[in-house]
């Protein structure tokens, strides 16, 4: 009788371990949000069923948490509002020809943006550049080890976060209305929509 009770307890313990392991696997393999009740055919369902997208969602949740800690005293508090806007933009990927590629790109860019803006990864710089031979016309660049690579450029009171682009030589970055292409200490920079290109060199 004692042997039967011991065996029964072992079966119960093993069953509990298996159930607990399955629950843990579900937590670590799915996205950061609950997949219960997500709409069929939605971007959220795609994230729930795609291991790579789920992993990116978990990574973004962790990076967002780190950023939120640094943004606690941010005025105005823009991080939450921007994240809501980002979610809307991600969900708009249902309009894209390649929905999955669009969603993955949205995640990777958002992770890199938060890591750079809130200085969550290693960086190089700031590096000062004098543009068009005028010492007063300066640009300061800080480069971040994100994936994809990013940089934050500052010129006067304006700030631009730019993302690395493929380049045959040197390092090329593109922002919303700004671009930066550096090779051997010289950079070609455009700052603003339709603005003329500047030639900038590293300043001492």
pLDDT > 80? residue 86: yes
* The pLDDT value given to residue 147: 95
Percent of the chain with pLDDT over 70: 86
* The pLDDT value given to residue 29: 78
> For all residues of the chain together, what is the average pLDDT?
86
Those residues with Cβ within 8 angstroms of residue 177's Cβ, 6 or more apart along the chain or in another chain: 160, 190, 191, 192, 193, 195
pTM given for the model:
0.81
Q: What pLDDT digit, counting tens, does each position of 163-187 carry?
A: 999 988 889 999 999 999 998 889 9
DSSP 68-114: HHHTTT-SS--HHHHHHHHHHHHHGGGGSSSHHHHHHHHHHHHHHHH
Task: Report the alpha-carbon distance of residue 175 to residue 189 in Å, rounded.
Answer: 11
Percent of the chain with pLDDT over 90: 70
Confidence of residue 7 (pLDDT cuts 50, 70, 90): very low
* The pLDDT value given to residue 28: 64
Q: What pLDDT digit, counting tens, does each position of 51-62 carry?
A: 999 999 999 999
pLDDT > 70? residue 2: no
Lowest mean pLDDT among 91-95, 150-154, 181-185: 181-185
Lowest mean pLDDT among 43-47, 108-112, 164-168: 164-168
Q: Where are the domains of the chain?
A: 39-117, 123-202
Confidence of residue 25 (pLDDT cuts 50, 70, 90): very low
pLDDT > 80? residue 194: yes
pLDDT > 70? residue 11: no
Q: 154 — phi, psi (to 5°)?
A: -125, 130
Task: Report the alpha-carbon distance of residue 201 to residue 133 in Å, rounded.
Answer: 8
> What mean pLDDT comes out for the span 152-165?
95
Structure-block tokens of residue 54? 């789920």
pLDDT > 60? residue 21: no
The matching CATH number, chosen from 2.40.30.110, 3.30.365.10, 3.30.200.20, 2.40.128.200, for 123-202 is 2.40.128.200
- Nearest 5°: the CA angle 16, 22, 25 is 140
């Amino acid at each position: 009788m004692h042997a039967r009770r011991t065996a029964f307890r072992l079966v119960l313990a093993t069953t509990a371990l298996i159930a607990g392991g399955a629950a843990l696997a579900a937590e670590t393999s799915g996205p950061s949000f609950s997949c219960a009740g997500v709409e069929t055919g939605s971007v959220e369902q795609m994230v729930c069923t795609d291991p790579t997208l789920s992993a990116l969602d978990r990574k973004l949740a962790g990076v967002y948490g780190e950023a939120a800690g640094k943004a606690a005293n941010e005025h105005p508090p823009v991080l939450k509002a921007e994240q809501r806007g980002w979610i809307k933009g991600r969900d708009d990927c249902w309009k894209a020809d390649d929905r999955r590629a669009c969603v993955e790109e949205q995640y990777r860019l958002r992770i890199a943006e938060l890591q750079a803006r809130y200085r969550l990864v290693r960086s190089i710089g700031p590096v000062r550049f004098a543009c068009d031979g005028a010492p007063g016309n300066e640009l300061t660049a800080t480069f971040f080890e994100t994936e994809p690579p990013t940089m934050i450029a500052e010129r006067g009171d304006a700030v631009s976060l730019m993302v690395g682009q493929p380049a045959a030589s040197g390092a090329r970055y593109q922002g919303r209305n700004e671009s930066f292409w550096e090779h051997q200490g010289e950079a070609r920079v455009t700052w603003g929509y339709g603005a003329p290109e500047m030639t900038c060199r590293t300043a001492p």
